[in-house]
A and B are shown apart, each in its own frame.
Chain A
Amino acid sequence: EIVLTQSPGTLSLSPGERATLSCRASQSVSSNYLAWYQQKPGQAPRLLIYGASRRATGIPDRLSGSGSGTDFTLTISRLEPEDFAVYYCQQYGSSPTFGQGTKVEIK
């Protein structure tokens, strides 16, 4: 099983700032099959990124994914109020696993 470790656990930032979220895999993720999700309280997760860097439909270009192999990053270039949430990475190159999440909170 591939273990995904997300860091930091919590990111305290102000609107307009840049957010950098990390997802590190215990072994290489096949074909960079890595997705990112956003989840707000009481809501289902929302797909943001798949294939490590491909934005899902309707996702603004201030969100971007990068990385390969074992190290992946989600970047939010300028935080908007609606971006404060919990973010999860998921690998689907083998039996699916999720990271433990990074909470982006308002500073």
Chain B
Amino acid sequence: EVQLVESGGGLVQPGGSLRLSCAGSGFTFSYYEMNWVRQAPGKGLEWVSYISNSGDTIYYADSVKGRFTISRDNAKNSLFLQMSSLRAEDTGVYYCARGDLGYCSGGSCYSHYWGQGTLVTVSS
């Protein structure tokens, strides 16, 4: 069974930093492209970042470019999101998501499997 489990969320002050982690199991992690998607409270979904299976190709949404860094450790079946210079508008639930093999187009994917999400609150 495919499982994605996020951790690392919490309360942080504006301008602060936070590192999210996502542990994958039930599949060969190193085969799959991965994404982070977030959802502000009571709002819709927003794609945040993409990383290829090898980690060589990375994309970011304009709203986080220069502040967030995605990475992965295939040996540990883990995905990360380093977030810095956090703003109030970064508040929300952050989901780690996996697509299906062969169905990403130039770094853009649908997400078949999602974690339960981790809540990030940016507030003073």
Contacts and interface: CB of A to CB of B under 8 A. Distances in A.
Nearest to A31: B105
B95 A44 contact: yes
Contacts of B44: 88, 98-101
A8 interface: no
A56 interface: yes
Interface stretch (B21-29, B73-81, B114-122): B114-122
Nearest to A100: B44
B104 interface: yes
B101 to A, nearest CB: 13
Contacts of B45: 37, 39, 45, 88, 90, 98, 101
Contacts of A33: 105, 108, 110
Interface string A26-59: 0000110101010100001111001100001000
Contact of A92 (B46, B61, B104, B115): B104
Contact of B108 (A37, A50, A56, A94): A94
Nearest to B109: A92
A67 interface: no
A44 B112 CA distance: 11
14 contacts: A30-B105, A33-B108, A33-B110, A37-B45, A44-B95, A45-B111, A47-B111, A50-B100, A50-B103, A50-B112, A92-B108, A95-B61, A96-B35, A101-B45
Interface of A: 30-31, 33, 35, 37, 39, 44-47, 50-51, 56, 88, 90, 92-101
Given A45-B114, A92-B110, A98-B44, 9 more contacts: A33-B108, A37-B111, A44-B95, A45-B111, A47-B110, A47-B111, A95-B61, A96-B47, A101-B45
